[in-house]
Amino acid sequence: MCQQFRFLTSALGRGAVAVMTPNTILITGASSGIGAALAKHLAKPGTHLILWGRDESRLADIAQACRQSGAIVTTASVDVSNIEDFKARLLASDTATPLTQAIFNAGLGGTADADRPGEDVARVEAISMVNFVSPIVGATMLCERMAARGGGHIVLIGSVSAYFPLPMAPTYASTKAGLAMFAESLRMRMAKHNVAVTLVSPGFIDTPMSRAFDSPKPFLMTAETFARIIAQRLPSRPANVIVPWQYTVLRALSHALPRALTRAIINRH
C-alpha cells in the first residue's frame, strides 16, 4: 500500500501533508479504439491516467473526456516502436509518478497482401515491435520496479488470434501467441512479488483496426461494451480474460480438436 501515499509539502509552509495518491494507470495506444474506451471507463476521481499514443489531437480529446469524469490525466505522444525512447519515457514516467497498473494495449493489425506470397518485411518488423517487443520490454522493466514497491498490476492486451493459426496474418497471430506465453510465464515468476499479470484476449471489437479487416467478424462487440467488461474484471486481477465469452468456447474447442482439423477449417474460410 505504501506506493499509494506520497507526501506533499504545503505551499503555505504548514509542513508535510500526507495525501492519498490516485491509482496511477498507464495505457498505451489510448488514442483510439480499445485503449480510448478503456481510458474513459477507468476515469474517475482518485485515478491518475497516463495516456500514451501517437496522435496528439485524438489523445487530447480523450483526455478531456476523462477529466470530465474526475480523473487526473497526463498525455504523451510516444512511438512505442522507438524502443530506446520508449524505455527512457517509461522509466521517467514511473519515476515521476509510480504506476500501480500498466495496460500495454498499443497494437498494429492488418493482414498480409493477397497479391504476394509472403508479408511485407517492413510491416513484419513494425508489427513485431509494437505488438510484442515493446510490451514485453515495458512489462519487464515495470514488474521489477513494482516488485520493489510491494506490488502492482501488468495488463497485456493480446488477442484470440493467439490460439489459431492465421495464414492471412502470420506475424500478427504470432506476436499475440508470444505475448500469451510471456504473460503466463511472467505471471508465475512475479506471483511471489505481488505483481499480477493479466492477459486480455479480445475477439472482434469494433475499432479502426477491425474495420480495416475485410472478412466476417463473428460476435463483433463495441469497444465501449468491451471496455466496460474489462474495467469490471481488472480489479480482481484475473490471469486471463477472453471477451466476448464465445471465444472461450472456441479456444477450448480448438484445444480439443486435432491441429490438422483446426487448420483445415481455417483454410476453408
Ligand X SMILES: NC(=O)c1ccc[n+]([C@@H]2O[C@H](COP(=O)([O-])OP(=O)(O)OC[C@H]3O[C@@H](n4cnc5c(N)ncnc54)[C@H](OP(=O)(O)O)[C@@H]3O)[C@@H](O)[C@H]2O)c1
Count of CB atoms situated within 10 Å of the CB of 129: 19
Cis peptide before 135 (omega within 30 of 0): no
Buried b (16+ CB within 10 A) or exposed e, 233-245: ebeebeebbbbbe
Q: Judged by CB under 6 A, does residue 210 bind ligand X?
A: yes
Task: State how far the Cα of 69 lies from the Cα of 51, in Å rounded to an integer.
Answer: 15
CB 59 within 8 A of CB 75: yes
Distance of closest approach, residue 73 Cβ to ligand X, in angstroms: 15
Q: How far is the CB of 69 from ligand X (least distance, A)?
A: 19
The single residue among 24, 29, 127, 166 that binds ligand X, judged by CB under 6 A, is 29
How far apart are the C-alpha atoms of 198 and 183, rounded to whole Å? 7
Tell me how far, at minimum, the Cβ of 56 lies from ligand X, in Å: 8
Exposed e or buried b per residue across 44-53, where buried means at least 16 C-beta atoms within 10 angstroms of its C-beta: eeebbbbbbb
Integer Cα distance of 231 and 25 in angstroms = 12
Shortest Å distance, C-beta 132 to ligand X: 10
For residue 33, the SS3 value is helix
Q: Per CB under 6 A, does 202 bind ligand X?
A: yes
Give the integer Cα–Cα distance in Å for 185 and 45: 34
Q: Return the active site residues.
A: 172
Closer residue to ligand X (CB): 157 or 190: 157
Rounded least distance, CB 172 to ligand X, Å:
7
User: Interface with ligand X includes 79 (CB under 6 A)?
Assistant: yes
Contact range with ligand X by CB under 6 A, out of 89-97, 111-119, 138-146, 203-211: 203-211
Residues of this chain, 218-257, that bind ligand X according to CB under 6 A:
none
Are the C-beta atoms of residues 30 and 7 closer than 8 Å to each other?
A: no
Residue 205 sits in the site that holds ligand X (CB under 6 A): yes
- Binding track, positions 103-142, relative to ligand X; x by CB under 6 A: --xxxxx--------------------x------------
Does the footprint of ligand X cover residue 81 (CB under 6 A)? yes
Q: Which is nearer to ligand X, 51 or 190 (CB)?
A: 51
**Contacting residues toward ligand X, per CB under 6 A:** 29, 31-35, 53-55, 78-81, 105-109, 130, 157, 159, 202, 204-205, 207-210
